[in-house]
Amino acid sequence: MHLSPALSRIAASQTTAMTDRAIQLREEGRDIISLSVGEPDFATPPHVIAAAKAALDAGDTKYTAVGGTLALKKAAALHFARDLGIEVLPSQITVSAGGKQAIFHALLATIGEGDEVVIPAPWWVSYPEIVRFAGGKVVPLHTHAQHGFQFTAADLEAQIGPRTLWVLLNSPGNPTGACTSAETLHGIADVLRRHPRVMVLSDDIYAPINYTGGPHATLANLHPDLADRILTISGVSKSHAMTGFRIGVAAGPQWLIQAMERLQSHSTGNPCSISQAAAAAAFEGPQDFLIDWRERFRARRDLVVAAINAMPGLSTPVPDGAFYCMVDAAPLMDRFGDDAALALHLLEHGVAVVPASAFGGRDGFRISFAADEAKLAEACRRIAKAVA
């Protein structure tokens, strides 16, 4: 066995590992409710499926341009303008195999040895691992449940130093569901103006799933003068229940888009041609069902939050967006040792969740409530029994 120093710096994704484990146990005949992966259970909309079939029938089965078809880039430009208020040309957009690949390529294409990346924690599992793989240094910006996992612009500025290259923003956030307000983003814009080297990767993949009632706030919309330092990530996986299609889109300065495509030209090449046709249909087709889906997520959120907060030893704030809640289980750690042991214990009781430590947190676990109410209610009953 020979592993590169870069690979030795990172672990496998714990969200996908826990999901694989749940699938394996199910295949062995165990009754497991998987609340580990962030994946909407809704069926992919019929017009999207029809577009994928039409692409197959039309023979769209060959290479496309590495960074995506012009048709999809135009559809993505429509999406960025309509849904995020970001005006970009197709040449400022690239398409990748999921938002994860866009993040991977952006960081790999820019980070030099020792460059620092500030990441609000708890964070999505892959952010720090990608930074470490690229040779960068992760600078955590710790947030806490009692403050709704929020941070201020001053908190952020305190983490910025001469080696800071990127700040990662993720709102609505995975795994906390926290949303960054326009007011905080105005403060962040002021910080950025004082630190001209720093770029922002704004992961807006959960933008349509926002329960605050207000509009989605994002930096490139609020401060277009900073747009040449912002890469905004979006996609169809979470919004349109298209996780398996693997399509993410990124909008940013042309030099960065070209750098990402240069890397992509040597890794996967173009994203799947059929998926690209489906994603274009998702961006261009009806969007009204997203409101219904969001309200169904809200009902599920309320069910899970109420059930968890009624269990002795467990608590969670109410997430403002996405479909996750970060459960604090600190009072149970005397019994279980650590959150990985607790997650295994819950798995034994038939519920797969991801330990908080996977997200740079501790003493808790993340629940993905993108499952139907009956499953969520049964999962909560099992969790209550497991920790009683």
Nearest distance from C-beta of residue 163 to ligand GLU, angstroms: 27
Residue 125 or 230: the one with the smaller Cβ distance to ligand GLU is 125
Residue 111 or 125 with smaller CB distance to ligand GLU: 125
The answer to whether 321 touches 179, Cβ cutoff 8 Å, is: yes
Q: CB-wise, 37 or 119, nearer to ligand GLU?
A: 37
Q: Are 193 and 153 in contact (CB under 8 A)?
A: no
Radius of gyration of the chain (CA): 20
CB distance 37 to 15 below 8 Å: yes
Tokens 């165990």 sit at which residue?
30
Contact 182, 222 (CB under 8 A): yes
Q: Decide if residue 138 touches ligand GLU (CB under 6 A).
A: no
Q: Is residue 319 a contact point for ligand GLU (CB under 6 A)?
A: no
**Of positions 22, 32, 35, 37, contacts ligand GLU by CB under 6 A:** 37
Yes or no: say if 251 and 86 are a contact pair by the CB < 8 Å rule.
Answer: yes
Angle between helix 273-284 and helix 46-57 axes, rounded to 10 deg: 140
- Nearer to ligand GLU by Cβ, of 173 and 252: the residue is 173
Residue whose pair of structure tokens reads 């993905």 in the numeric block: 368
100 lines the binding site for ligand GLU (CB under 6 A): yes
**Which residues 167-226 are close enough to bind ligand GLU by CB under 6 A?**
174
Cβ neighbors of 339 (< 8 A, separation 6 or more) are 329, 333, 355, 356, 357, 362, 363, 364, 365
Residue 343 sits in the site that holds ligand GLU (CB under 6 A): no
Query: Which C-beta is closer to ligand GLU: that of 124 or that of 365?
Result: 124
Name the residue with tokens 């950025």: 192
Indicate whether 125 belongs to the interface with ligand GLU (CB under 6 A).
Answer: yes
Question: DSSP assignment, residue 319?
Answer: P
CB of 237 to ligand GLU, least distance (A): 8
Q: Which residue in the set 32, 35, 38, 115 belongs to the binding site for ligand GLU (CB under 6 A)?
A: 38
CB of 304 to ligand GLU, least distance (A): 15
By the rule CB under 6 A, 64 interacts with ligand GLU: no
For the bound state, the minimum distance from the C-beta of residue 345 to ligand GLU, rounded and expressed in Å, comes to 20
From CA 141, how far away is CA 378, in angstroms rounded? Answer: 35
Among 324, 322, 72, 94, residue whose Cα is nearest residue 208: 322
When the beta carbons of 336 and 359 are compared against ligand GLU, the nearer one is 359
Minimum CB distance to ligand GLU smaller for 160 or for 343: 343
Q: Does 16 bind ligand GLU (CB under 6 A)?
A: yes
**Residue 57 burial by Cβ neighbours in a 10 Å radius (0-12, 13-18, 19+):** exposed
Smallest distance, Å, CB 38 to ligand GLU? 3
What angle, rounded to 10 degrees, do the helices at 254-264 and 99-110 form?
100
Using CB under 6 A, list all residues that contact ligand GLU.
Answer: 13, 15-16, 37-38, 100, 124-126, 174
